[in-house]
Amino acid sequence: MRSVSLRHLTYHPFILESPQAAEHQTADLGDKYLQLMHHHGILACGRTAAEAFWFHYSLEMACKIQVDILASGKEPILPTDTAVEAVGAEFDVEQAVLGDEGSPAKTRLLDKRYPDYKH
């Protein structure tokens, strides 16, 4: 599985309780697909539902792995900047919509288990 590149991730540090809250969050998201929202979790977008799910799942798993590593009490082994850039370069969302390869199977599973999801 490819990893989510930090090039596609933004951080939204605050939540305004005002009519402009969505505008601020949208501005922070920009042209990215993922956003970590301070005290609120993950926002995932995609060109398809499958792609949004793929982005969300990938980031959630990366966060889970980080929490597990930190909970171990061991010193994490960090990749070099060169390695991070090399992996990020392989992750080009402009080349293909991600997540579509498993989408028909996921749709059949949704249809079977949760037939009301379309309504």
Query: What would the pLDDT profile of 53-72 be if each residue is shown by its tens digit?
Result: 888 888 888 889 999 999 99
Q: Into how many domains does the chain fold?
A: 1
Model confidence at 20, pLDDT cuts 50, 70, 90, reads confident
Model confidence at 3, pLDDT cuts 50, 70, 90, reads very low
Question: How deeply is 99 buried, as exposed, middle or buried, from its count of CB atoms within 10 A (0-12, 13-18, 19+)?
Answer: buried
The verdict on residue 91 lying in a domain is yes
The verdict on residue 67 lying in a domain is yes
CATH code of the domain covering residue 31: 3.40.225.10
**Structural domain for 68, as ranges:** 6-118
The verdict on residue 62 lying in a domain is yes
The verdict on residue 110 lying in a domain is yes
- CA distances to 20, 54, 94, 104, 107 from 100, rounded to whole Å, are 34, 9, 14, 8, 11
The verdict on residue 81 lying in a domain is yes
The terminus-to-terminus CA distance of the chain in angstroms comes to 32
The verdict on residue 44 lying in a domain is yes
The verdict on residue 1 lying in a domain is no
The verdict on residue 106 lying in a domain is yes
